[in-house]
Amino acid sequence: MHTNQNHKTNYRIITVLLLILWVAFIFSNSMDNADASTLKSGAVLALLRRILGSEGAALTEFIVRKTAHFTEFAIEGILLLSVVKGYTMRPLRFLGWPLLAGLMTALTDETIQLFSLGRSSQVTDVWIDFAGVVTGTLLAFLVQAIVRRCKKS
């Protein structure tokens, strides 16, 4: 029994730490000035075009930026549900908490951008970020439910 408690405690510590590091990563990206942000997006765009060849020709910096927003927050949604799972066997019951935390992160993220040189804040980005949180949270919940069913069978 003691080993199970240690495992649970370790899981909680690891998931909370990963979440904190991930949110710090999101916020650090928002603190980049416009030139640094454009440079990062341009590098990702060039890499994707190299990988995809002619298929990547239609990609734009706009698509890369919005996809990055969505992806960052989808990962946050997965981590948020993982943290909740560390404290309850019924994460669906507490699904509102990770969603609220993700929305607050998105709002804070866009607010940070108001103070970054050459950057602006957009309501549409909050919605894209929140859609990422919802998608990541639901994806994590679905995977956990499938794993639980497989263990029962």
Global confidence as pTM = 0.91
- Give the pLDDT confidence of 105-116 residue by residue, as tens digits: 999 999 999 999
What are the domain boundaries of the chain?
Answer: 2-152
pLDDT of residue 36: 94
Return left, alpha or beta for 32; rule: phi > 0 is left, psi -120 to 50 is alpha, else beta: beta
Return the number of other C-beta atoms located less than 10 Å from residue 133's C-beta.
28
Query: Distance (Å, rounded) from C-alpha 37 to C-alpha 65?
Result: 9
pLDDT of residue 1: 52
pLDDT range class, residue 2, cuts 50, 70, 90: low
- Give the pLDDT confidence of 26-82 residue by residue, as tens digits: 999 999 999 999 999 999 999 999 988 888 888 899 999 999 999 999 999 999 999
